[in-house]
């Protein structure tokens, strides 16, 4: 690698931040995303993400589903710049029902922002997504939103987060109230107060802030002596009794820096963004089958974390989203798909602002590129221009809901099989058969991580593959893949309360009707081995 390219690679890695926002629906993720884009100059008027999204909904059947349900089904990637940083924001679906996509997106992120509603604190969906991050030791930053209206006392809220999620917290900013109105935040690292102007435009433009010292008389006058006194006491208490700030602990995922703000009014968004960019990790090194890959390694490496078919209904295309892990990517570059040993040229990678695509010439570690795919790529595939290696740790998830899929017109079986095969490759469905050899035979069974995934499947099977279907739910919902002697597996599958199935690759699994039956089998059936996901 030339000296010049090496310097550019080092610079690119140093200034890249790739993260995802995790939250429960309604905490304000769309609003915060808009505001981050606003500060990043990617859009000029906040609100346009939503309105443009709505305008584009009309464009395809696929998006019609999103519009009907008022939800975002797919994850997209947004890139913007701020203060010399290149930021990749990986968007995860906002609906409370979710699919494996959401989880996999977190694997492509180097850090996560956990967004909380100041009245609700930690909610179900936050907990699920948090646990995925925690398992991977992903650094987690907390943003307490909606502080423009009265919420749970900040100290109590932090206490709840710590006890509920088992992570230590360190407030980096602290909310300041004028009577009960949110007036600004104190930045504990910079030791200044940011006072915001409400403005007349409901947060459509950046909030202007003036910075003053916490002991400034002006602040005392503004807040009133009593509130000001309480603020100083809170700050002293945090210094004495709170977790001290340790950057290493943040990077290890053991300490979450906490910020307070209001995405709607923009209060606290910019101080958050600034501190976050400074504290969040640049692209991290990743484990592979041949050892750790550093982002500054010369060879290009990346992995497919998501495949999306038919993003544009007019073109029936498939886009594979590749997270670049090391090296420099150039348009037209020849790379190897390690799983198949095939060499492929990546002619027109794309970069995304929501769903708008622009062709790009180059990409660096931390970036996500969209590669047009003719069906050869799979989730988890590693691409490289160097020696063979494969990235580990693209998690697979066992479905939690199962259903028989029944064709409206039995003649459409071929279309159904094509559709199911492609949705499986994309990771949008998991399909199972009651016989290990004869896929075209009995009624296929589909599995999903969240119920919404079934709606998406049915919609896509009908509109993209011409196979209108309905589903018939199966009550059994505890799958375990099994390995061991065939006759033992078949015997096991014949017992009551169980169903023997085969996944798309022919691996046998047993579906248990209840948790009790599953536990019983795990304890007693020692002639076979049980696995949570396909071995
Ligand atoms: P989501 O993507 O996490 O589901 O949340 P979204 O941004 O759509 O926000 C959910 C609701 O919360 C919206 O209200 C939004 O305006 C509101 N919200 C977001 N941030 C703040 C904040 O800082 N303060 C307050 N007070 N509200 C906030 P809505 O009435 O459901 O929708 P809309 O009519 O405002 O679009």
Q: Where are the beta strands (DSSP E) in 327-422?
A: 329-330, 334-337, 342-345, 350-353, 356-359, 362-363, 368-372, 382-384, 401-407
Quick one: pLDDT at residue 205? 65
pLDDT band at 78 (very low <50, low <70, confident <90, very high): confident
Q: Which residues contact 516 (CB under 8 A, 6 or more apart)?
A: none
| Cα–ligand 1 centroid distance for 186 (angstroms) | 24
Q: Which atom of ligand 1 is nearest to the CA of 267?
A: 23
| pLDDT band of 347, cuts 50, 70, 90 | low
User: Does one domain contain both 274 and 325?
Assistant: no
Picking from 42-46, 407-411, 485-489, which range would have the lowest pLDDT averaged per residue?
Answer: 42-46
Q: How far is the CA of 31 from the centre of ligand 1 (A)?
A: 6
Question: Cα(465)–Cα(409) distance, rounded to whole angstroms?
Answer: 13
128 Cβ partners below 8 Å, 6+ apart? 98
Of all helices (H) and strands (E), which one includes residue 50?
helix 48-57
Residue 514 covered by a domain: yes
Residue 355, judged by CB atoms within 10 A of its CB (0-12, 13-18, 19+), counts as: middle
Domain-located, residue 3: no
Alpha carbon distance 107, 110 (integer Å): 8
Check residues 16 and 372 and name the one with the higher pLDDT: 16
Ligand 1 centroid–CA 30 distance in Å is 8
- Tens digit of pLDDT for each residue in 296-322? 999 999 999 887 765 555 555 677 888
pLDDT given at position 303: 94
Task: State the pLDDT at residue 312.
Answer: 56
Looking at the fold, whether 410 and 470 belong to one and the same domain comes out as yes
Average of per-residue pLDDT across 379-384: 90
Are both 483 and 356 inside the same structural domain?
Answer: no
Tell whether 29 and 146 lie within a shared domain.
yes
Residue nearest to atom 15 of ligand 1 (CA): 28
Residue 401 near ligand 1, beta carbon < 6 Å: no
- 456 CA distance to ligand 1 centroid (A)? 25
pLDDT digits (tens, 9 = 90+) for 172-187: 999 998 877 888 999 9
pLDDT band for 337, please (50, 70, 90 cuts). Answer: very high
> Which protein residue has the closest C-alpha to ligand 1 atom 19?
28
126 CA to middle of ligand 1, Å?
16
**Domain ranges, residue 360:** 286-384
Q: With a cut of 60, say whether residue 100 has pLDDT above it.
A: yes
CATH code of the domain containing 358: 3.40.50.300
**Ligand 1 pocket check for 149: Cβ under 6 Å:** yes
> Domain for residue 11, yes or no?
no
Q: Would residue 8 count as lying in a domain?
A: no
**Residue 52's pLDDT band (boundaries 50, 70, 90)?**
very low
Helices (H), 407-485: 413-426, 452-465
Asked if residue 271 and residue 164 are part of one domain, the reply reads yes
In a domain, 443, yes or no: yes
Which of residues 225, 250, 279 is at a domain's end?
Answer: 279
Give residues with Cβ within 8 angstroms of 414, minimum separation 6. Answer: none
66 phi and psi angles, rounded to 5 deg: -60, -40
Ligand 1 pocket mutation pick from 31, 89, 150, 262 by most atoms within 8 angstroms of CB:
31
Distance, in Å, from the CA atom of 528 to the CA atom of 530, rounded to the nearest integer, reads: 7
Give the count of beta carbons closer than 10 Å to the beta carbon of residue 383.
26
Q: In this structure, which residue's CA is closest to atom 10 in ligand 1?
A: 26
**Is 54 a residue whose pLDDT tops 70?**
no
Residue 255 CB less than 6 A away from ligand 1: no
Instruction: Give the residue-averaged pLDDT of 365-371.
Output: 87
Instruction: Answer yes or no: do 235 and 326 share one domain.
Output: no
| Percent residues over pLDDT 70 in the chain | 83
- Quick one: 93 and 127 in the same domain? yes
Residue 23 CA, closest ligand 1 atom number = 3
Residue 66 token pair: 């999103």
What is the percent of the chain with per-residue pLDDT over 90, rounded to a whole number? 49
Ligand 1 midpoint to CA 382 (Å): 38
Q: In the predicted model, is pLDDT for residue 249 greater than 50?
A: yes
For residues 102 and 506, the model is more confident at: 506
292 — phi, psi (to 5°)? Answer: -75, 135
Residue with tokens 């584009």: 56
- Half-sphere exposure (CA, 13 Å, Cβ side) for 234? 21
74 lines ligand 1 (CB under 6 A): no
Is the pLDDT reported for residue 64 higher than 60? no
In a domain, 406, yes or no: yes
Distance (angstroms) between ligand 1 centre and the Cα of 190 equals 29
Does residue 269 fall inside a structural domain? Answer: yes
Cα 280 to Cα 112: distance, rounded to the nearest angstrom: 9
The residue out of 384, 419, 453 marking a domain boundary is 384
Query: Which of 334, 353, 384 delimits the end of a domain?
Result: 384
Q: Are residues 128 and 193 in the same domain?
A: yes
Q: What is the pLDDT of residues 498-528, one digit of tens each?
A: 999 998 888 999 999 998 999 999 999 999 9
The reported pLDDT for the residue numbered 7 is: 94
Task: Report which DSSP code applies to 355.
Answer: T
Asked whether 148 lines ligand 1 (CB < 6 A), one says yes
| Pair 254, 310 in one domain | no
For ligand 1, what atom is nearest to the CA of residue 31?
A: 7
Instruction: Express each pLDDT in 107-127 by its tens digit.
Output: 999 999 999 999 999 998 888
- Give the max Cα distance, the chain: 82
Is 281 close to ligand 1, i.e. is its CB under 6 Å away? no
DSSP 3-state of 277 = helix
Q: Do 345 and 374 contact (CB within 8 A), yes or no? A: no
- From the list 464, 471, 466, the residue with the least C-alpha distance to 61 is 464
Residue 92 in contact with ligand 1 by CB distance below 6 A = no
Residue 48, domain member (yes or no): yes
Q: 507: domain CATH number?
A: 3.30.70.3280
If you measure from the C-alpha of residue 182 to the centroid of ligand 1, how many angstroms do you get, rounded to a whole number?
A: 17
Q: How far is the CA of 26 from the centre of ligand 1 (A)?
A: 6
Under the banding of pLDDT at 50, 70 and 90, the label for residue 288 is: very high
Query: Closest Cα to residue 260, out of 101, 429, 143?
Result: 143
**The predicted structure's pLDDT at residue 369:** 82
Give 96's pLDDT tier (boundaries 50, 70, 90): very low
Count of structural domains within the chain: 3
Burial class (CB within 10 angstroms; exposed 0-12, middle 13-18, buried 19+) of 220: middle
Across-strand partners of 175? 185
Q: Which two tokens stand for residue 169?
A: 């917290």
Judge if 429 and 373 occupy the same domain: no
Angle between helices 124-135 and 154-165 (to 10 degrees): 60
pLDDT at position 499 is 92
Q: What is the pLDDT of residue 76?
A: 62
Question: Tokens 């992903």 map to which residue?
Answer: 138
pLDDT at 359 over 80: no
Query: Do both 112 and 232 map to the same domain?
Result: yes
Q: pLDDT category, 440, cuts 50, 70, 90?
A: low
Mean pLDDT of 80-85: 89
Looking at the structure, tell me whether residues 168 and 190 fall in a common domain. Answer: yes
Q: Which residue has the higher pLDDT, 277 or 178?
A: 277
For range 477-504, the mean pLDDT: 91
């Amino acid at each position: 690698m030339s000296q010049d390219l090496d310097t550019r690679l080092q610079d690119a890695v140093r200034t890249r931040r790739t993260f995802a926002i995790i939250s429960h629906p309604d905490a304000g993720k769309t609003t915060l995303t808009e505001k981050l884009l606003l500060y990043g100059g990617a859009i000029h008027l906040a609100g346009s993400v939503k309105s443009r999204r709505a305008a584009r909904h009309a464009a395809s059947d696929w998006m019609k589903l999103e519009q009907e349900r008022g939800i975002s089904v797919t994850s997209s990637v947004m890139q913007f710049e701020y203060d010399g940083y290149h930021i990749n924001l990986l968007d995860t679906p906002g609906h409370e029902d979710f699919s494996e996509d959401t989880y996999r997106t977190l694997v492509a992120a180097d850090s996560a922002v956990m967004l909380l509603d100041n009245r609700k604190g930690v909610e179900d969906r936050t907990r699920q997504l948090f646990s995925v991050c925690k398992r991977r030791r992903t650094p987690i930053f907390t943003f307490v939103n909606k502080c423009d209206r009265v919420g749970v006392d900040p100290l109590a809220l932090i206490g709840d987060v710590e006890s509920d999620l088992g992570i230590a917290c360190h407030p980096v900013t602290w909310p300041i109230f004028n009577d009960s109105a949110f007036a600004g935040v104190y930045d504990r690292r910079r030791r200044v107060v940011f006072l915001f102007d409400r403005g007349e435009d409901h947060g459509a433009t950046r909030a202007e802030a003036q910075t003053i010292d916490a002991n400034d008389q002006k602040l005392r006058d503004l807040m009133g002596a009593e509130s000001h006194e309480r603020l100083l006491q809170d700050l002293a208490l945090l210094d004495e009794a709170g977790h001290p700030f340790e950057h290493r602990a943040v990077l290890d995922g053991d300490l979450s820096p906490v910020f307070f703000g209001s995405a709607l009014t923009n209060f606290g968004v910019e101080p958050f963004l600034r501190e976050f960019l400074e504290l969040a990790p640049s692209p991290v090194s990743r484990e592979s089958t041949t050892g750790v890959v550093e982002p500054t390694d010369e060879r290009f490496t990346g992995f497919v974390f998501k495949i999306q078919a038919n993003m544009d209904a007019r073109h029936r295309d498939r886009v594979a989203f590749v997270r670049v892990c090391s090296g420099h990517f150039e348009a037209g570059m020849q790379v190897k798909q390690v799983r198949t040993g095939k060499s492929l040229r990546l002619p027109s990678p794309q970069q995304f602002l929501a769903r708008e695509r622009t062709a790009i010439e180059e990409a660096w570690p931390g970036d996500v590129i969209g590669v047009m795919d003719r069906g050869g790529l799979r989730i988890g595939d590693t691409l490289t221009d160097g020696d063979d290696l494969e990235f580990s740790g693209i998690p697979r998830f066992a479905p939690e809901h199962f259903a028989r899929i029944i064709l409206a017109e039995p003649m459409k079986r071929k279309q159904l099989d094509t559709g199911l095969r492609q949705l499986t490759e994309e990771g949008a469905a998991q399909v199972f058969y009651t016989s290990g050899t004869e896929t075209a035979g009995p009624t296929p069974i589909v599995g999903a991580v969240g119920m919404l995934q079934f709606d998406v499947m049915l919609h896509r099977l009908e509109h993209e593959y011409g196979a209108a279907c309905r589903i018939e739910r199966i009550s059994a919902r505890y799958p375990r893949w099994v390995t061991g002697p065939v006759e033992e597996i078949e015997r096991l599958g014949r017992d009551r309360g169980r169903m023997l199935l085969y996944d798309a690759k022919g691996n046998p699994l047993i579906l248990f009707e209840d948790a009790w039956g599953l536990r019983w089998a795990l304890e007693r059936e020692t002639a076979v081995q049980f696995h949570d996901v396909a071995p």
